[in-house]
Every structure is written in structure tokens, then in C-alpha cells.
Amino acid sequence: MSKPISSILTLTLALSGSVIAPAQNCPSFSNCPNNILTLCETANNDPALWHDPAFTWSPMLESADLPDGPVDLNALATVDCIGTFTMRYVLFLDLDGDNLAETAIPSNSTLPRGKILFGNAFTPGYLSTDTLQFDKRAVPDSLKFRFSLQSELIGNQLSVHLRWAGAPGNYQPARLPIGKHRIQWILLKNGVPQLYCEYIFRVKDCQPPALSCHNTWNATIPGSDTLLLQATDLVQHLTDNVTPNALLQLSMRRAGTGQGFPLDDNGDPVTQLPFACPELGQHEIEVWARDLADNDSTCTSSLTVVDFEGNCPGAKPAVVCAKTIFPQSDTMQHVDYRMETLFTPGHPAVALHLTPLPNGCLELPDFSPYQIEEVAITPRKNKDQLNGVTTFDLVLINRHIVGSQLFNRTWKYLAADANNSGSITTLDIVELRKLILGIYDSLPHSDAWKFLMADCTLDSLAPFQSTCPGTIGFDPDAIPEELLFLGIKTGDVNGNAAPDSLGAGTTPRTPSAITLPDRQLAAGEILELPLFAGSPAEWQACQWALQWDSSQLRLDAVLPGRLKGLEAGVSLRQLPELLALSWMSETPVWVTPTDALCTLRLRALAPLQLSEALRLAAQPLAPEAYSPDGIPTALRLEFIEKQAPGSGGAIFDPQPNPSSSTTRFPYRLDQPGLLRLDIMDVTGRPLFHVETHAEAGAGALEWPAAAAVPAGVYLWRIEVGQVTKTGRLLRL
């Protein structure tokens, strides 16, 4: 039966590896080692055990956390004579790494659970004033470990095991620190020591590092013509149960060139291997890892040395370029080229991302040194998705959807498909508007650019059914002289994206103003602030973003004016410090300096001057307005002291002036009325006359380009209600 042995104070009377016994042969130890006993442990260290500075210290790891693991310390005695036999022990531990077992743990220790006395191995009665806490687990004190014995008497064999006792009835092998220690077993008969067995034992880490390699690794020859392969390049995973990763040693060799842990001529690990141009191709590399206990493990990786940047001598057989699909396109910059090579059977495909030359093109290497069956090149560019994308693109997409102006180029279908659904719907407009308003940083279902092979023709009747892949595949033994891709900018259907930079390619006309009255506001004051066009113009679309300090101003509402259909979450994005607007109309709208574009209902949270509080933001969208033909005009804010009062109507200067085409004369009527336009030469001879009745609001009278008049200076006069205005016009 198994039963715990009572703890009785004992004295250390035996030397290491010796047995002192009475004259008779009973009792006797059956397993007292004559040499140092090695106990292997393979478990992971528990940082909550044997970690009590400044008592504990591992010189090997330079840490107060002693690596520990479960070990089975036991004794077996033959007791075939008359008497009551029990066993005790004194465990001597080296806890500060000086090869001297300074700490004694007798089996009669009465210290609280989780604690032992430190530095007491040479004191009478194993007493000390220093208490070491070896168990710092986050458990109640009643569940912390204490040293104990488990005994079992079967016939005349008494077997005992050193254990840790936790919860009642829960015994487990004691976890002891790695190092050299000793133990003394004392066999008692009727409570009197009869026999001693003492020996040195070493707790050793026998678990090799857990090491795994990348199955394949690809590296290209650099500009120095020599590749220095690092051992860390090939390691996929590395860890050890005791040694921290920073103290693990890595080494490597070409497979089949040696045995055991690789060392150089100086006895140091081999951490890098050189590969030069003559060594292009495949190599098998052994990677080794060794811990501080000299346990090692190895794995193998298949290395392919390539010259895909053309640094080795030899011809560069082909060039890869990308141009936009727009007419007269320049070479695209900042394109990431992905090259995938398929080697002979038994070797997986290799994918590399290659850096283009300064001109934006990519030079392909000489593939002849490699056993490659196929090469595929795929371009990608997914930066600055707003490049070339404006609210006017939404106008053009909407015209196509409603059928008023269908796309005249097949590539525009792919550009307009912002959600990659294979069709063009209002959902594409919704996605692009979110991008313009800054709700999206990038489109969730499409890259900034789409690419297709230049020699592929899109089906004009079914563009989305065309088979035009974005990858060019070729036989490395028959590489074309030039591989060309065509790029389509997602969302840009008027083809003004910049191919040679990350910025937008739009070049707006001379800036025009958005005017608004300047006011001083007191804290708590509510103001309805109208925004006006600084000059009359015909707008098909516009976009801008207003910014302010949220501690000074709060936007309560946006009221429509000439910009009809403004809707939060659709054409408006409102944040505590920003209002982004992306507006478009199916029909052009005349805006004038006297009709509010929209009105902002603002609440002042602190005293402020409007001109110091409001500003146009350059991001996330450029402030621009667009004419019906898509010509952009940059917008700026202009604060004015007082808005001019209405007088029944207003007449504005002709646009454009000078002109070689149709000239428009903008006006505004406060109520329905009659309008007259007269064009005369400098002598006053009438050349053109139009008279029409118009409804209240803004509009424009036109002098058509079809009027056959020679270049020169002409006079004009307009009557709007009670208002008359005259001026000069230069015809080119």
C-alpha cells in the first residue's frame, strides 16, 4: 500500500555515491547510484516557479528565472527483516549557479507552502534567516506546492518518490531547476537511521529547439554580384523550451557537405553563405539551431538563386512596360510588377515582386540558367485611388446609365465598374462618391488601376465578356521583345488621371470664388450662412470640403439653394469638423453671385470671426466646379462685408470674353420678365437681336458661334426688367 512517510530530522553522514550500513544485509538500498545521475527534462519553463531574486540566478541565461522541469527522484530499499521502516531525505539545491548546493530542503520542513530556506546547507539543523518563495503562482496559499514523499511497500520492497503536493490528494513530480544538485536518502528502522544513500544528480535540458524552415526560398543576386544568404532568411519558426530565442545559435551549410552542427574554421556558427553569379539555380540548404544545453535540431530548405534584376553579365532579353489606355499615354510610374515562375515538376512556383527602372519599365533577366517552364508577369498599382476621379466622372457615368450620352470607348466601361460587378449601375456611382467624400480610403472591391494586355481588344458590344487578362504568360525560351500592359484608372471615365505620378492629373482653370458674408459671432449665436458663386457660371457638378474647429462652431443643418438635392450620407458627408460635398445635376445649372448655392445653419460655441474660423480643405477632395463639358474650375473662399441687395434682376459679364465660340450672357430674374439682347458693331449697326420671356431665376442668353461675323470688337446691350447693361466683346 502507498502511504506518506513522517518527517524526522536527520543528519548528513554519508559522502556522495556511498552507502553506510549496519553489519547485517538488512535493510539495503537497491538503486543508490555510484556516479552522477542525469535527469532529462523536456517541458517548458514555468516563470512562476523558481523565480525569486536575489536568491535565484542563472549565469547561463543571465536571468533570475531558473528554467525548471518535472523530474522523478526516487529511492528503493529492500527491507526483509523485522521492524518498521521509513524513509526521509535532504535535498540540496544550487540556486545561484555557482556549482555549490547552498540550499537544503529536509523532509521535515515546516515552512508555509511555496517557501523554503535559502543558504542553509551548512548551518546546524539547516536553519537560515533567508526565506525563498519558489512557488509564485497566482493561486491561494493553501494550493501552493510543498515538498513531500509518496511511499509504497510491496512485499519487502520499499519505494519512495520525491513529490510536490498541491491540492489535497494531488501529487506530481517535483519541478526542479536545471543544474547540478544532490540528494541524501535516509532509511530508518523503528525511527532510527539505519542506512544512508547520497548522490549528485544533474537536471538537464534535453529538449532540442523547435525549428522549421521555409520549404522554398528565392533570392536574387544584388548589385554587388554576390548574394549573402542569412540563416535567418530560411527560418520559418524557431523556439526553445528553455533558451530564449536571442541566445539560440543558428548555423547552416550546403546540404551534404558535413555532419553535425556547422562550424567555421574558427569554431563559430556559419550564419551566412555567399552565392555568386555562376551559382544561379537551385541549392539545398541545411539550417541548424542549437540551445545553451547543446541540444540541436535541423531542417532543410530549397534555395533558388536568381538574377531577376539583371545584375549578372548577360543580355536582358525583354522589357515590360505599362501605359494608360488613354491616347498618347506616357509610361506609368509606381507600378508593382509581380513575376511568377513555374519550374520543372517537383518544384513549386516562385513569386517575386520586382522594382521597375526609373523610367517605369521593368527589364526581364536571362532565364537560361534556370529550369523554368513558364513565366507570368502581373502588374498592380493601388495607390491614390482619387487620382483622376472627380464628381464630373459621376456625371458622365450617370449620363451613360440614363442613356443621354453613352460611353464612346470600351475601356470606360471597365473604368466605371467601381464595384467589379461586371456591369455599370448607380451602385458604382455610390461607391465612387464615398471615395470622393472620404468615406472610403480606397474602393473595397477594386484596385486603383486595372490592367490588361495591350494586344487584347475589348469587345465593343460586350466589354465585360472580353477575355483580356491582366497577366502576361510566356515561354522563357521565346520571350517577346516587349511586353506591354494598358492601365485603366478605376472611376476615371474622362481619362485625366496622371500616369507618371501619384497625384491627380486634373488642371483646373483660374480659380473662382465661393463668396460668403463675414460676421463676428458671439457664443451661442445661430447663423444661417449663405454661400454664393463668386461669378456667374454654368455648373454641371461641384465638390469641396469646408473645415472648422469643432470647439468653435457646430453645423446644425445644410439648406439647399441653387444646388438642389443635397442629401446627407449621399452627396454630403458631415463630421464634427468637416462638411464634404459632392453635387451633380442631370441638367446644367446657372449659378450667380446673387443666388445662394446652399445655406449652412451654424451655431457658434465660442466668440469668433467667420473668416478666421472657416476654410476650404484640400483633402480629401479638391475644391472644384465643372462646366457641362467637364472643364474644371478651382474654387476658393472669399469673405465679403455685405451682400449686394436685389433690384429685380441682375446682368453679368459675358462668358467667355474673348470668344471664338458661343458666347453666353448670364442673368438673374427676381420675377418672370422680358429679356432683350442686342449685338452691334462699333458704329452701332445692329448685327444680332434676341428677345425672350423668362421665368424667375438664373439663366443665360446666347450669341451663337454660328453668327457669321469677322474677328473684331463688338458692342452688346442687355435689358432685364428695369436693368440695362452694356459692354464690349472681342470676337476671335
* pLDDT tens-place string over residues 230-249: 999 999 999 999 999 999 99
Residue 509 is predicted with a pLDDT of: 57
Distances (CA, A) of 110 to 50, 74, 104: 19, 22, 13
* pLDDT tens-place string over residues 189-201: 999 999 999 999 9
DSSP letter string over 430-455? HHHHHHHHTS-SS-TTS-SEEEEETT
Distances (CA, A) of 337 to 160, 362, 442, 483, 634: 70, 8, 20, 12, 35
* pLDDT tens-place string over residues 235-285: 999 999 999 999 999 999 999 899 999 999 899 999 999 998 888 888 999
Stronger pLDDT, 479 or 200, i.e. the higher one: 200
Mean pLDDT (the chain, rounded): 86
Average pLDDT value for residue range 438-452: 92
* pLDDT tens-place string over residues 21-37: 443 578 999 889 989 99
Average pLDDT value for residue range 568-585: 90
Residue 418 is predicted with a pLDDT of: 95
Give the whole-angstrom CA distance, residue 649 versus residue 470: 58
Residue 349 is predicted with a pLDDT of: 66
* pLDDT tens-place string over residues 667-711: 877 778 888 888 888 777 888 888 888 887 778 888 888 776 788
Stronger pLDDT, 349 or 504, i.e. the higher one: 349
**How many Cα atoms sit within 13 Å of 607 on the Cβ side?**
0
339-345-348-350 Cα dihedral, nearest 10 degrees:
-20
Residue 317 is predicted with a pLDDT of: 59
Give the residue among 326, 490, 325, 505 at the shortest CA–CA distance from 418: 490
- Residue 5 binned pLDDT confidence (cut-offs 50, 70, 90): very low
In this predicted structure, the answer to whether residue 443 has a pLDDT above a threshold of 80 is: yes
Average pLDDT value for residue range 88-98: 95
The helix or strand, by DSSP H or E, that contains position 393, with its residue range, turns out to be helix 391-402
Give the residue among 472, 309, 455 at the shortest CA–CA distance from 379: 472
Stronger pLDDT, 408 or 356, i.e. the higher one: 408
Span between the terminal Cα atoms of the chain, in Å: 119
Name the 3-class secondary structure at 699. Answer: strand
Give the whole-angstrom CA distance, residue 730 versus residue 709: 11
The dihedral region occupied by 157, where left means phi > 0, alpha psi between -120 and 50, and beta the remainder, is beta
Residue 642 is predicted with a pLDDT of: 55
Distances (CA, A) of 707 to 24, 654, 702: 140, 16, 11
* pLDDT tens-place string over residues 610-626: 999 999 987 778 899 99
Stronger pLDDT, 102 or 20, i.e. the higher one: 102
In this predicted structure, the answer to whether residue 16 has a pLDDT above a threshold of 50 is: no
In this predicted structure, the answer to whether residue 664 has a pLDDT above a threshold of 90 is: no
Residue 512 is predicted with a pLDDT of: 87
Give the residue among 428, 445, 440 at the shortest CA–CA distance from 394: 428
Residue with cell string 509518496: 150
Average pLDDT value for residue range 419-443: 93
Give the residue among 110, 248, 242, 247 at the shortest CA–CA distance from 177: 242
In this predicted structure, the answer to whether residue 645 has a pLDDT above a threshold of 50 is: no
Domains of the chain, first to last: 2-205 (no CATH), 210-306 (2.60.40.10), 509-640 (2.60.40.680), 649-731 (2.60.40.1930)
